[in-house]
Structure 1
Amino acid sequence: MRMMRLFFLLLLPLTSLVAASKEITYSLYIYLNGVELGVYKIPYNLGGALNLDSSGFRDAVYPYLNDVGIGEMNEFLYGQNSTFASSEEDNYSTPLSSDVGEIVVDYDDGAKALYVWMPDAYLNAKFFDKKSQEYTVPLIEHGKTSGYLNVTYGHKIFHRFYRELNIPKNQDFANLDLSLNVKDFVFQGFLYAASTNPGIINRGNLILTKDFEEMKARLAIGDQGSYSFGLQNSIPLLGVSLCRGMNVFVNPTISSASRSEFFLNAPMKVEVFVDGILYQTMELPAGPHLLQNFPIIQGLNNVKLRITNPIGLVQTISLNSFYEPNLLPQYETEYFVTAGFPNYSQQGFNYDYQFYKPTLMASLRYGFYNNFTLGTYLQGNSTGAFFGGQAVYEYSAVRALFDFGFSAPKDREISSKMRLALSKGLLSTAPKLSFDYEFSIEAQEKYFSYLQAPVLPNPLYLSFAARLAKKLPWDIKSSVTASYNLDRQSRDTYVAQFKLEKTFMSSFLARFLLVFKGKDLRPMGVTSWKNDYFFTFGIDYVPKDSGFKVSTDYNQDLDAFNANAVYSAPVRGDTKIDANIGGSFLQKGASGTGYLNYTGQRFSAGVSQYLANGPITFNLPDFPTTRNSSLAVTQFNAGTALAFADGFVAISRPIEDSFALVLSKKNERMRYIRAYKENFKDRYNESFYAMPAVVPSLKSYKETDINVDIYKKGSWTVDVSEHMKVRPTYRSGTLIEPRTIVLKASSKPLRKIFNRED
């Protein structure tokens, strides 16, 4: 490890000597509400991500936004901390949360296409002029009865230290995920079984939802999470909720219970990325995981948790901002009211309905002006009552957030907490600054607590945090972040970090993160600081338009080094293979790592090897750093789905949201057909004898163009091509039968289109 440290230290100064060069970019087709805007260059960012806060994205999208839309998009990019999604999140992956009324961005890595959807109220006349120039094609309604059943299986083998951690050497996992849409009443169910120690069967979330799209409202009955903002938290409930305009999507595997907690239904691999740098890989047990004492500066770091469940599905929780200062457009209202019973306990992850604790959680936010929003919340059950509010105001280059909250737990006095945060202005009227800044101050009383959480004395009473980011000469991106926490027993702590990021030779991206931390141990009541530091460092090599990437990361604090090469290649149509090979060194362990994943049209399968810390939670003391024995894990997984719509059934790879079934007309079911989104002809999904083609990657409430090629019998020659649009509702399936389409009165005749060969 000493040689490795020396190697990285020698490499660091070399990067600063390299002359400025162009950023690593991807040439992407960009679509706004289904309208193609053209091809634009979007920079590659850390961790294989896209930097949407770039001139390419702004040149493509911003000309079509009105003043409110510009402010909303600025907020979206700021909340994402300039980073959207990793290139591993293909068009068939689904974000953790989805909002039917706000901005949604989806990246299709295979087609190199970026889809942006936002409310029409945020778009200007120029966009609608551009949209009117498109040919009108039929809009196909979704099926009255549709749904899917995902069936997946996984197997894990632990090679080292599993006995000390009381983990079986071999573990099997199986999952059934059902979604049924009947006239837009959607039922979702989840069943999970595992041969862990002890073995478990968990029926997971059961929930019935009904959306009222024109009102941007949703009614839900069953197992669900709850929206939270400000100083409130949220717990999973069995109950009834009514909400409007908020993130209400409930994922059957992962739920973000609050901004300081998340909940896993199964043991999972969790990779922690801090400011785009891989910080740690962990094997976490099922259950709630607190983010107290998280080794970052809360609210100011861009933190993403990439979670891989035992059956290979990957999803991401973004924790980049624990207090996002979001404004609502003028006269816009958001609310969330839910009543029910807590459905988990701190002792385990199998649901334990606490019917003796009826619970109410309610919140309301209202935009008085485009630059002023007020909100309030109320929560309570037999453990106590919790209430508070939030104000967000922007003037010129400053956006101010003020949070306040009160907790009144049972048998405890009322306690309070306050937070004031300042950051740069984001509205279209805000001056353009050459730097980003954030500052926050928090104060809390000793026994301030949260709903359903234990009431424990909090050692901190006052905290300060600040961040400054700016691009230096030679296109070096830099940021300085620091926090200082005042302890009730004078055992203060601080954290300070310095980050550099540089692109050179048009294919290399280097990053360096230096962290200082300290704590006043105060032996015998005398000030005595224990100071420590560590650094992380890495280089990505990304040859342009090659589908290939090499990345390295070194974390001195964990004695961890990771290096891997990734290659993604299309096989046939919408089928692809992803390969990764590398190695990891973690404290006492070392292991070859990598994966080989097959993502087909009818099923997916893969095998992976990784090195991780043992079962721990984030609720760890900052000093000393807890060092767990490393686990070498081999994982196998496979999955398929049964999709059905209006009486027709097909096999598909696992589906996460909405889909379409495409089949030939009644008397020609054996005709071979290909269906593909937009004009990406090489990304087709095909029929199999009489089985329909399945387009498995549609987004709820998002209009998408579908093209269909119908081939001559016994020939590879296209007989006819047809073009239509679909707009599925929440988790719905759409049945498409070409050449039997009835045009609406307002529709223009279909036209023969020329498909691009991508």
Structure 2
Amino acid sequence: MRKLGWFFYIFIFVYVCFASLNIEAVLRVVVNGQVKGDFIVSITPDKDILVTEDFLRSIGLKKPFRAKKKTGLISLNSIKDLNFSVNEKKALLEITVDPRLLTPTNVAIKRKREIHELEYLKDNAFYLNYYLRYYADDHLNNETFNGNFEAALRLEELLFYSDLSYAKSESVNSLHRLSSSITIDKPDKLHRVVIGDFSATSGELGSNLLLGGVKIERNFSLNPYLLRYPNLGIEGVLETPSTVEVYLNGALYQRLELPPGPFRIENLPAMPGSGKITLIIRDALGKETVIERPFYIPSRMLGQGVTEYSLAFGFRREDIGKENFHYGRAALLGYMRRGLTDYLTMGLRAEVDDEIANAGVEATTSLFSKAEMRFSTALSQKEGEAGYAGSLGINIPTQKRISLGFTLRKFSKEYTDLLETNNSSLNWAVRVSFSVGPQGSISSVFSWNKNHDNSKTKALSIHYHRPFLKVGNIFLTFQRQWLTSKTEDIFTFGILLPLGKSRYASLQHTSRVGQQNSTLSLSKNPPRGPGVGYRLQVNRNQHDSSGEWRGYGRVEYHHEFGHLIGEYQKTENLGSISLGARGALVVAGGEVHPSAPIYDGFALVDTGLKGAKVRLGGQFMGETSESGKLVVPGLVSYYDNPISISANDLPMEFTLKESTKHVAPYYRSGGIVKFEIGRLNAVEGKIFWIEKEKKVPVEFAGLDINVEGKKIESVTGEKGFFYIEGLKSGRYPAHIFKDGKECRFTLFVPESKEPFINVGDIVCK
């Protein structure tokens, strides 16, 4: 009996010990439907799961975990808003947790420039634009000849630029320099330095001057894909793994696969103004959820930490177009603006010369992300007299298709800037615009101005615009001006109707007291590449009881090498003609090429093949010349300019390695863009090898040829004949084998314009 008691106590002790032991197991963990991987966990006898903090971090839970610990481990049962179940057969641990407890996912949307690898163009090159025009009456009298010339030379980091104007008539024969400058751009730092002639400004309440000197600025156009405006984003919470479609103003921008939990999508590339972000979320169960967020980005706002500035010193350029080197008083102008937060941008500005000093501050703020307010103030001094000025602007786009705006500007009589054109004492304006859906939109502006001499003017304009026949547009405008001595009303009515293929018909009628004017036009816009455009116009101008008819015609022909323009204008008593030619000469790669006018950047496309069709942004720009080259103008500096050649446009025997090049020229610059086009030849010949010191044809043998790392398999025929298609000129490793015997040799394909090449007898030794 005593032994039985001891046995009972020992049994109870062993049972308690083993019952208190945890079991370690490897389980596949799924959190809110997303597989996280295989983990080692501890399972308690009461079916609780004990894990480490590293485990919770690995499956995406964020701190603080707020859970109880057992033997140094965390109990899943103790975590609030977390449920789990264990499937022993599948070794599966399924966890369902409040998604707000999961680690947030931050997604920074890649901008277009980050997606495409851009090739920057700044080759040492030169181009000369010309625009030659001839004018005369319809009897070829009163002849006039005008010419404008623009030259740009890129040498490494330096851009030399100058433009000239020439005029010749019976009384005039003149050649004038307009502006000349050297520009140095540093796109990675957004720095631009200009030495020579340039325009300079000091910002709001300041001046705009043409100077000759030096300007240093931070220019955002050097990286147009930079996120310079306040960060635009949207956030939400996902219960399960989901597909998220991001729409920007109704257009699909990106599709994302996101894990469960909070998320924030940032860096959406919206431009200033109002708009709407829409997210369409489809979860793992197929349920669809829509999140919408309206936004407004003020045009003058900068993102937090973003700075822009400009500092210019030089001498005023005067009598431009009349005098070549006439410079006046020295002046210094500058401004700096910085985004202190995503909701507040502050700025300083100043301008000074030997007589006038002017300085001020400005601020732009976003009111509740729904409105913009701008404030500027300035002080000036001239000859001991101090003046002041201030401005206030408010822009309020509402969510009911209504936009409100208000501006107020006040100037003291003593206030002056470097232009010394301060006549106004007080002016303000109110703007209201709203959309009425399919019925169109209405906008109205009322302005009031008082000058220092106490004269006052008021103006009201009301503009109505709506679609017409689903494809066209119709508009009505009413304007009233309250002048010092009279009131004047102007009514304007117009219709624009697209006719297809870039053709348009338009009718416009303007009416005011004592005058009626009507114009009927038919036009076709010329293409960017080769093609024809025209404009035909009939006008009737009625003054009280007398009227006059006027006709106008213009034809513009675009060619790869330039544009030709012809105009004819006829009134009841007089006619005139105008003939013009404009184009460019480009020096790049040691060669001279004619081209259409170059307004910013260009690319010299080199294909090595005559007649290759070149497109810019999908628009046909021309065909390559005998040398296989074509100058493509119309590129925009620092932007992604896709230049493409379609393989479908090439003869069948040619191959194209890369069909599209993404290039970004420097300002007023360009370079060579090379497309690798190879000729595919059909190659035939005979293969022999040596047997018993005799040349024997290798018949019905296997033949392998290595072409750029890929193996082409073939066989030989009678007398060792072989035939292979699709080989470019070059040398290719080859391998021939039969009945356990093999031989290696090099197949040489010579350059040839013929589609079939016979390489003759090949002896493999």
| Alignment TM-score, normalising by the size of structure 2 | 0.59
Q: Which residue of 1 is the match for residue 760 of structure 2?
A: none
* Higher RCO (CA-CA < 8 Å; seq separation 6+): 1
Residue 364 of structure 1 aligns to which amino acid in structure 2? M
In the TM superposition, 1:569-648 aligns within 5 A as 574-586=529-541, 589-609=548-568, 634-648=577-591
Higher CA-based Rg: 2
Q: Which residue of 2 is the match for residue 94 of structure 1?
A: none
SS at match of 2:409: strand
SS at match of 2:188: helix
1:215 aligns with 2:152: no
Alpha-carbon separation, structure 1, partners of 2:573 and 2:413: 37
Q: Which residue of 2 is the match for residue 503 of structure 1?
A: 467
- 1:500 is displaced (CA, Å) by 1.1
SS at match of 1:226: strand
Residue 574 of structure 1 aligns to which amino acid in structure 2? G
Residue 148 of structure 1 aligns to which amino acid in structure 2? Y
- 1:689 is displaced (CA, Å) by 1.3
Q: Which residue of 1 is the match for residue 393 of structure 2?
A: 421
Change in CA separation of 1:406 and 1:559 when aligned onto 2, cut-off 3 Å: farther
Residue 500 of structure 1 aligns to which amino acid in structure 2? Y
Q: Which residue of 2 is the match for residue 206 of structure 1?
A: 180
Change in CA separation of 1:704 and 1:325 when aligned onto 2, cut-off 3 Å: closer
Residue 653 of structure 1 aligns to which amino acid in structure 2? A
- 1:698 pairs, out of 625, 635, 653, with 635
SS at match of 1:215: coil
In the TM superposition, 1:235-384 aligns within 5 A as 235-245=209-219, 326-345=300-319, 349-354=322-327, 357-384=329-356
Q: Is the 8 A contact 1:207 1:222 kept in 2?
A: yes
Alpha-carbon separation, structure 2, partners of 1:334 and 1:192: 34
Q: Is the 8 A contact 1:476 1:502 kept in 2?
A: yes
Q: Which residue of 2 is the match for residue 68 of structure 1?
A: none
Alpha-carbon separation, structure 2, partners of 1:500 and 1:711: 47
Q: Which residue of 2 is the match for residue 183 of structure 1?
A: 156
Q: Is the 8 A contact 1:417 1:444 kept in 2?
A: yes
Alpha-carbon separation, structure 2, partners of 1:551 and 1:372: 45
- 2:436 pairs, out of 451, 472, 481, with 472
Residue 382 of structure 1 aligns to which amino acid in structure 2? D
- 1:330 is displaced (CA, Å) by 1.0
Q: Which residue of 1 is the match for residue 456 of structure 2?
A: 492
In the TM superposition, 1:94-113 aligns within 5 A as none
SS at match of 2:209: coil
Residue 614 of structure 2 aligns to which amino acid in structure 1? A
Q: Is the 8 A contact 1:649 1:691 kept in 2?
A: no
Q: Is the 8 A contact 1:325 1:401 kept in 2?
A: no
Q: Which residue of 1 is the match for residue 413 of structure 2?
A: 446
Q: Is the 8 A contact 1:564 1:594 kept in 2?
A: no
Residue 443 of structure 1 aligns to which amino acid in structure 2? K
1:401 aligns with 2:374: yes
- 1:464 is displaced (CA, Å) by 2.1
Change in CA separation of 1:231 and 1:569 when aligned onto 2, cut-off 3 Å: closer
Alpha-carbon separation, structure 2, partners of 1:468 and 1:443: 22
- 1:608 is displaced (CA, Å) by 2.4
- 1:452 is displaced (CA, Å) by 3.8
Task: Provide, for residues 405-453 of structure 1, a one-character-per-residue CA deviation record: whole Å limited to 9, x for no partner.
Answer: 23323x361222211111126xxxxx63420111112211124332143
Alpha-carbon separation, structure 2, partners of 1:338 and 1:209: 14
1:145 aligns with 2:124: yes
Taking only the aligned residue pairs, the percentage that are identical comes to 20
Change in CA separation of 1:542 and 1:738 when aligned onto 2, cut-off 3 Å: closer
In the TM superposition, 1:33-112 aligns within 5 A as none
- 1:474 is displaced (CA, Å) by 4.7
1:542 aligns with 2:485: no
Q: Is the 8 A contact 1:491 1:519 kept in 2?
A: no
Alpha-carbon separation, structure 1, partners of 2:188 and 2:118: 18
Q: Is the 8 A contact 2:301 2:344 kept in 1?
A: yes
> Tell me, which stretches of 5 or more residues in structure 1 are unaligned?
1-122, 161-167, 250-323, 426-430, 522-529, 613-628, 742-747, 753-758
| Alignment TM-score, normalising by the size of structure 1 | 0.59
Change in CA separation of 1:739 and 1:246 when aligned onto 2, cut-off 3 Å: closer
Task: Provide, for residues 486-511 of structure 1, a one-character-per-residue CA deviation record: whole Å limited to 9, x for no partner.
Answer: 34555422111211112132133211
SS at match of 1:328: coil
Task: Provide, for residues 311-346 of structure 1, a one-character-per-residue CA deviation record: whole Å limited to 9, x for no partner.
Answer: xxxxxxxxxxxxx96111111111111111111149
Q: Which residue of 2 is the match for residue 623 of structure 1?
A: none
Residue 489 of structure 2 aligns to which amino acid in structure 1? Y
Change in CA separation of 1:438 and 1:503 when aligned onto 2, cut-off 3 Å: same
In the TM superposition, 1:500-579 aligns within 5 A as 500-521=464-485, 530-543=486-499, 545-557=500-512, 559-568=516-525, 574-579=529-534
Q: Which residue of 2 is the match for residue 171 of structure 1?
A: 144
Change in CA separation of 1:516 and 1:142 when aligned onto 2, cut-off 3 Å: closer
- 1:225 pairs, out of 172, 175, 199, with 199
Q: Is the 8 A contact 2:526 2:557 kept in 1?
A: no
Q: Which residue of 2 is the match for residue 106 of structure 1?
A: none
Q: Is the 8 A contact 1:436 1:468 kept in 2?
A: yes
Where is the strand percentage greater, Structure 1 or Structure 2? 2
1:653 aligns with 2:596: yes
> Tell me, which stretches of 5 or more residues in structure 2 are unaligned?
1-105, 224-297, 679-708, 711-725, 727-765
Task: Provide, for residues 262-295 of structure 1, a one-character-per-residue CA deviation record: whole Å limited to 9, x for no partner.
Answer: xxxxxxxxxxxxxxxxxxxxxxxxxxxxxxxxxx
- 1:388 is displaced (CA, Å) by 1.8
Q: Which residue of 2 is the match for residue 719 of structure 1?
A: 654
Q: Which residue of 1 is the match for residue 251 of structure 2?
A: none
- 1:177 is displaced (CA, Å) by 1.0
Q: Is the 8 A contact 1:643 1:650 kept in 2?
A: yes
Change in CA separation of 1:578 and 1:380 when aligned onto 2, cut-off 3 Å: same
Alpha-carbon separation, structure 2, partners of 1:407 and 1:170: 50
SS at match of 1:235: strand
Q: Is the 8 A contact 1:644 1:733 kept in 2?
A: no
Change in CA separation of 1:512 and 1:228 when aligned onto 2, cut-off 3 Å: farther
Change in CA separation of 1:511 and 1:709 when aligned onto 2, cut-off 3 Å: closer
